[in-house]
Amino acid sequence: MLLTGAEILIKSLVDEGVDTIFGYPGGAVLNIYDELYKYKNEIHHILTCHEQAAAHAADGYARATGKVGVCLSTSGPGATNLVTGIATAYMDSIPMVAITGNVPKSLLGKDSFQEVDIAGITMPITKHNYIVKNVDDLQNIIREAFFIAQEGRQGPVLIDIPKDITANKAVYTKLIPKELKKNSTSFKEDILSELIQYINESERPFIYAGGGINSSESTQELVNFAEKINAPVSTSLMCTSAFPFDHPLYTGMIGMHGTKASNIAATKCDLLITLGARFSDRVISNQNHIKNAKIIHIDIDPAEINKNVKVNSYIIGDLKIILNKLIPLVKEKENKEWIETVDSLKEIKSVEINSDDDELTPEFLFDKLNKLNDGSFIITTEVGQHQMWSAQYFNFKDRRSFISSGGLGTMGYGLGAAIGAQIGKPNKQVFNIAGDGSFGMNCNELATVVKNKLPLIVIIMNNNALGMVRQWQTIFYDGRYSETTLDRSTDFVKLAEAFGAKGFRLNKRSQVEDVLKEAIASKEPVLIDYVIHCDKKVFPMVAPGAPINQIISEEDINNN
């Protein structure tokens, strides 16, 4: 069958199971959009207000569903607007295919109108990228791109298509997607025996689980493994929601804003079992207090082994396969004294409901959300204090229900990601928890939410400040608040109404529950302006470069 490049592209996307694309049209992709018009019953296109939001939406869709997210933009500024979203997906190992148009081949490299070398620009932030120079190669490139995005350590792939390629014709034959084979490339029996020996001999094992648990769909295997060896489990930000929040072995998030139990247990254990995590500097930036423990690392990416922390033993491969091999071979353990020690470090989350103080706090908001959560809530966040509060205080009941930019820390990520998550999971209730600073970077996407009638609820933790930066200025810069007090006159309620959404402003506790219930019941786009004090801080906290057991508390700050 002889088809144009644009037809081959769209048919190939359908062959790969793509049902949704997030994008923005332009001259270089007009042929593609003409074909999308013809295939609108098979592929749902979401027009965002900005290409960056298209990339974030594709990312959020992928995180919520486990499928490959797809975004599409025109050449030049349209392509460069995708870059931050591509980098966000790359840092967090999210499967995504970004498709960009470009000027015709004959104009490449001539500083043509709306021409950039997007393949060169994105080379460091993609698993692979392509410039399609022959229409005969297009179908195989698309098929290979989807395979690469999902194979091994997942990540984004970019396909740059000159406009004449979308007009030229080639033979199309329907092909099934390339088969993904999960494997353990470095799996050797002697290494497995070594790991088993470390585990069986340990008296104080501790598990540090990362985003690889989500990528490999290994939540149940993690639970089974932890229960068999009776090891406490901490999670990175990217693993939040992948381990049951109410499991007795769960110690919470680890790292700069991790729990006391997780951070201290990591320094007191005799065996640190690291699963699908990369020893980020926000988790363990100073190794001195974990050097007495043996360290096991299981990860799919060989580049992560011994990169940040030197380990005693490792296996490279798919977590699900490896855990399923390990579980029947390790001894069942009690570790009674160790469990009691870790349990004594756990701090009970409490919210003073009946306090005479009517001031709104993050803890109060999440207490109300937790009580309303029937298991259907997905939380997306921007980046900052509200992001940490979400991870600390919300009780996630389902995996893939926390969606946040971890590695890159992208302000402006959350609303685009919420759009993707809501479209990918239409039966879930998506909340985007935002700061007023982050929300200012992407508030135009409310138009996308309203146009598509998405029942998203945006909650702005409005402290009139760039809260996390202000917190650092308070603690480390003697309160010199350089450019972190926003002093903006934006009325978020009126802004929401201008876009066609419902708006609410909350100033006291007695309003919160009724407004949340009304917002959820409305099944409409809602924005809630949740007003908090500018000096509300995220605790616990570890200073940059300090060992994770040197925990700063609110009491420490109050006592200087």
Largest CA distance in the chain: 76
Q: What does the alpha-carbon distance between residue 332 and residue 180 come to, in Å, rounded to a whole number?
A: 33
Q: Which element (helix H / strand E) includes 167?
A: helix 163-167
Counting every residue, how long is the chain? 560
Catalytic residue, candidates 67, 114, 194, 307: 114
Does 377 participate in catalysis according to the annotation? Answer: no
Does 163 participate in catalysis according to the annotation? Answer: yes
Catalytic residue, candidates 51, 221, 382, 445: 51
What contacts 472, CB < 8 A, 6 or more positions away?
none
With residues binned 3-state (H G I as helix, E B as strand, rest as coil), the percentages for the chain, rounded to 5, are 40, 20, 40
Catalytic residue, candidates 1, 40, 42, 113: 113
Sign of CA dihedral 145, 150, 153, 158: positive
Token reading at 48:
């965002």
Give phi and psi for 288, each to the nearest 5.
Answer: -55, -30
Q: What does the alpha-carbon distance between residue 188 and residue 548 come to, in Å, rounded to a whole number?
A: 33
In 172-284 the beta strands, taken as DSSP E runs, fall at 205-209, 233-235, 250-253, 271-275
Q: What is the 3-state secondary structure (H, E, C) of 308-349?
A: CCCCCEEEECCHHHHHHHHCCCCCCCCCHHHHHHHHHHCCCC
CA 361 to chain CA mean position, Å: 25
> For the chain, how many helices (H) and strands (E)?
23, 22
Does 51 participate in catalysis according to the annotation? Answer: yes
Catalytic residue, candidates 256, 468, 471, 541: 468
5-15 helix and 30-38 helix, angle to the nearest 10 degrees = 50
Does 139 participate in catalysis according to the annotation? Answer: no
Token reading at 281:
């500097």
Does 468 participate in catalysis according to the annotation? Answer: yes
Q: What does the alpha-carbon distance between residue 58 and residue 11 come to, in Å, rounded to a whole number?
A: 19
CA 332 to chain CA mean position, Å: 34
What contacts 362, CB < 8 A, 6 or more positions away?
385, 386, 389, 393, 461, 532, 536
Token reading at 527:
């924005």
Please, which residues bridge with residue 430 across strands? Answer: 378
Catalytic residue, candidates 11, 163, 368, 537: 163
Q: Which element (helix H / strand E) includes 228?
A: helix 219-229
Q: What does the alpha-carbon distance between residue 43 and residue 21 come to, in Å, rounded to a whole number?
A: 7
CA 62 to chain CA mean position, Å: 9
> What's the burial of 339, exposed, middle or buried (CB within 10 Å: 0-12/13-18/19+)?
middle
Which positions are annotated as active-site residues? 51, 113-114, 163, 468
